Amino acid sequence: MPPMPTAATPVRTRVLAFAFLLAVVTYLDRICISVAAPSIRRDLHLTMLQMSVVFSAFTLAYSLFEIPSGWLGDVKGPRSVLTRIVLWWSAFTMLTGAARGYHSLLAIRFLFGAGEAGAFPNIARSFSQWFPVRERGRANGVMFLGSRMGGMLSAPIALQLVSRWGWRASFVFFGMLGLVWAAAWYAWYRDRPEDHPGVSAEELAWIRQDSPERSPGRSRIQYPTPNVAPATTPWAALLRSRNLYAICAMYFAFGYGLYFYFTWLPTYLIKELGFSQFTGGLFAALPFLLAGIADLVGGWLTDFLTRRRGLRAGRCYLGFGAFLTCAAFLFASTVVPSPIVKAILIAMALASADLALGACWAVPIDIAPDHAGVITGFMNTLGNIGGLIGPLVVGYAVDRWHSWTFPFYITALVYAGGAMAWLVIDPARPVVGFSRPGLPRKHEVTK
């Protein structure tokens, strides 16, 4: 293994900073509308149902365009594709402030969701180029810390902007953040570390440490250097892969539970548990705070376990334990009588699921670095389909049976199913395109 680069700010650290900021901006842009919703409904004379359809339009479009946007990143490289993605969604974020009625708002938010699709798959494709196996979990953990920070910051920032300048101006502000990011990304980033003038030979050797020529024998993880733009995408082989379906099932469970925190959690805390607006707001922010910490810890832990115990322990066993613990926390929240303890257990459930988030996004890179955009596109599509179904199930169950307990049982079972899917995934089995002799299983680990 080459020595760790000694430079204080290696270039890949700046790549990670771009990914972190992108995650912040994506969640600022997608969540700010929930804060502005009361003002939008009043000005545009929308019903609750119409506003719900507007919310769902984003999730539907985001799901539909994940795979093609991820595929474009594989074929053309994330520098140009991600620039176009961020410019597109930033434009439609700003155009949201120009909506004049229900139909125009619905169309704008659908196109906004179509534009934002592919952001995380393209970052995953970037990570396949810029980070060795031993750093990918931590890189994803840092990136998703940004998403949780965006979720926490969106509400207070949007509230200030809406109260001072109105909801239309708030969307212009949030859209401009993306324009700044896109300009800086295109000017600075390169699809291959070899093409970046700031990358030293020492750092390049560290990044490429997993290529076969740098890791002979069976004592370490062997990975080929991924191509910037593979000539073809082997769709048939991808669709035959058991790994692909297990990854999608696992992430469906994650998305199913995650969107409860985006949609129904404030209502549950205030209307069902009886918290005040202020206290309910604090408990609504708590899951994102704990999840952000868990993203960092989980990113480090998946890489640590991978080095010490092999890929299956570092990715799959960690994911299995995290999802199963999440299910247990959700079930326990239905048993305890104290509203405060219920709120804390629900927050801990999201943190437990997020402990595996770095592993979730490292696994597709592990099994197919040349096609990481497509694989993560499939994965995130199923995650968002879960996110589309989950809130509907909660709303229907509460409306039908007037109880929040039953939907929590369902969510706990879904997470338990996701835990089982982790055990089906084999991160040492490539989806397509290359063979990898000497991959560590249990005892053959990287020193």
Written in H, E and C, the secondary structure of 264-276 is CHHHHHHHHCCCC
Convert the pLDDT of each residue in 262-300 to its tens digit.
778 887 888 889 988 788 878 888 998 899 999 999 999
Let me know: does 419 contact 323? Beta carbons within 8 Å. yes
Judge whether residue 143 has pLDDT over 90: no
Judge whether residue 342 has pLDDT over 50: yes
Residue 254 pLDDT class (50, 70, 90 cuts): very high
Percent of the chain with pLDDT strictly greater than 90: 39
Measuring CA to CA, which residue among 253, 287, 264 is closest to residue 413?
A: 253
Write down the pLDDT at residue 220.
41
* Mean pLDDT confidence for 192-220: 73
Residue matched to tokens 């048993």? 335
Q: Is the pTM here over 0.85, yes or no?
A: no
Quote the longest CA-to-CA distance of the chain.
68
* Mean pLDDT confidence for 373-391: 89
Convert the pLDDT of each residue in 356-368 to its tens digit.
999 998 998 888 8
**CA quadruple 56, 62, 63, 69: dihedral, nearest 10:** 170
**CA quadruple 252, 257, 258, 264: dihedral, nearest 10:** 140
Distance CA 361, CA 375 (A): 10
Convert the pLDDT of each residue in 108-125 to its tens digit.
999 998 988 888 889 988
**Percent helix / strand / coil, the chain, rounded to 5:** 80, 0, 20
Helices (H), 310-404: 311, 318-333, 339-354, 357-367, 372-401
Comparing 227 with 204, which gets the higher pLDDT?
Answer: 204
- C-alpha angle 254-258-259 in degrees, rounded to nearest 5: 125
Tell me the CB-side half-sphere exposure of residue 31, using CA atoms within 13 A: 25
Please tell me the least confidently modeled range out of 119-123, 208-212, 351-355, 433-437.
Answer: 433-437
Judge whether residue 387 has pLDDT over 90: no
* Mean pLDDT confidence for 137-166: 82
Q: Is the four-CA dihedral 442, 430, 362, 331 of positive or negative sign?
A: negative
* Mean pLDDT confidence for 241-248: 93
**Quick one: tokens of 17?**
């900073």
Measuring CA to CA, which residue among 98, 104, 78, 109 is closest to residue 15?
A: 78
Most confident of 74-88, 225-239, 324-338: 324-338
Comparing 128 with 103, which gets the higher pLDDT?
Answer: 103
Percent of the chain with pLDDT strictly greater than 70: 89
Judge whether residue 433 has pLDDT over 90: no
Judge whether residue 215 has pLDDT over 60: no
Comparing 256 with 149, which gets the higher pLDDT?
Answer: 256
Distance CA 76, CA 230 (A): 9
Most confident of 31-40, 179-188, 398-407: 179-188
Let me know: does 5 contact 202? Beta carbons within 8 Å. yes
Please tell me the least confidently modeled range out of 29-33, 139-143, 323-327.
Answer: 29-33
Residue 432 pLDDT class (50, 70, 90 cuts): low
Write down the pLDDT at residue 392.
82
Residue matched to tokens 């593979």? 230
Distance CA 447, CA 438 (A): 14
Amino acid at residue number 97: G
* Mean pLDDT confidence for 97-106: 92
- C-alpha angle 315-316-321 in degrees, rounded to nearest 5: 105
Q: Per-residue DSSP letters for 184-243?
A: HHHHH--SSGGG-TT--HHHHHHHTTTSGGGS-SSSS---PPPPSS-S---HHHHHT-HH
**CA quadruple 27, 305, 324, 131: dihedral, nearest 10:** 20
Write down the pLDDT at residue 2.
66
Judge whether residue 233 has pLDDT over 60: yes
Distance CA 139, CA 11 (A): 13
Amino acid at residue number 408: F
Let me know: does 149 contact 24? Beta carbons within 8 Å. yes
Measuring CA to CA, which residue among 120, 135, 139, 47 is closest to residue 82?
A: 120
Distance CA 191, CA 129 (A): 7
Convert the pLDDT of each residue in 307-340 to its tens digit.
899 989 999 999 999 999 999 999 999 999 999 9
